[in-house]
Structure 1
């Protein structure tokens, strides 16, 4: 690892040396996922939840040409205020952003890369990217899936974002050998809702069971990650028809105006928020809190 390109906070360094549980967090959700100041408030609350559950938070971003592992409050505020002016950074963007000493908001893929470089094994996010609807024509498949196939990490999410083709996303993960595990559920959650109609590979009921399965994976020398799908709490789950109708409208509008590539997900999430009168944003925040809590418990169980 070339230290010119990574900066690990003192707190995270000390946690690594002391073998304390650590949970990585992404920064795209701060700069591209929510409006200011709600994004900063949410990011700070997520870190607080992780601490309350016995682990050390490590928010990851790119600042001044370095992958920052353990972003402080001032940096989080900068990410939130600057918003979408900060480039959304996936694997393909890393080399150029670092060489130009630029800033970047890390996606699931680049957060996994940064966490792996630092030696962190657990990562909490909202929902992963996946195979987009119509990918049989567009070939629009998120780099998140390739990173899950290559990087040794537990990724806790509320399923793949429901704007995606969930069936094809599961098929892709199966091909890549990534186990999809439901936490206390046999059905893949669909981000805003607890059910999707698709089954997960396995159902595990405790953080310890998840930790033991991951240890077995490492012990076998199997590369790649493990996807833990954690349903949104019942009281914050949205009505399936309401959210699916909103998604259909948003997808149709994106197609009509030619939105594609890495702009697709931010556009769709913003449009769904508009259509649902903000209800989708509230659900998004609650599922992130729920994932942070579980990720911290799994990180503790790993230790």
Structure 2
């Protein structure tokens, strides 16, 4: 996939520069140790114009991620939101995926950085896992122990774990993976949170060993609005395989139904599931439509 071309602009430390001319230092802690934090944000072409979904909330999480891993964050969040809209305008993007990244200057020690940089880029990107239900497997890889690293921080180095899990899943013929935690409870997918449906109720893994996704929080809010009972609790692999239906959610994947887990196919037809209702509702929310039951 081509993320930029000769005319693409990105935001780098307060200025807009051609993406083809931007560079980083080969002695950066971020390159050597994965010591950086990032966000994934989406912009949608709505009838009210281009809208960045929960832009401020994402930049607040970017700041919080920096704080959790002792990376300085000295930027004004409202200004970053304004500059992100300008970035979209400069690149003529209306539906886009936005990637802010805070990365470190040269430092070969294992100490916190004294100075850092911020980069924001954007590109056209459809739903990460497509629009069809996905076949998922339980990964042999586990999510890191939350006592080893703050799992609520969106740290670049954490995603080696995600790459390994997704690569393994695809090599086995699946679309995506689900990772368990160190106690063998369901955690999340490599880049998404998970919900399961059983007997007319939704369940999702409780916080502590997972990234507290902004889309996950949005789904919980939508459940309240739609009077759907959703319970946060520890979920076993057996619970997952005995579910009526299940779905993944995240900024990149949005909301996508799971067809099966390992060789177990979920019995409830996707169109009849609570996940499908939430998928339609979420799409109407991000597109700023009033009728939540518009089909996509």
| Same structural fold, with TM-score higher than 0.5 when normalized by the shorter chain | no
Which has the larger share of helix?
A: 1
Give TM-score scaled by structure 2 length: 0.30
Output the TM-score relative to the length of structure 1: 0.29
Q: Which structure is larger by alpha-carbon Rg, 1 or 2?
A: 2
Structure with the larger strand share: 2
Asked which structure has the greater RCO (Cα within 8 Å, sep 6+), the reply is 1
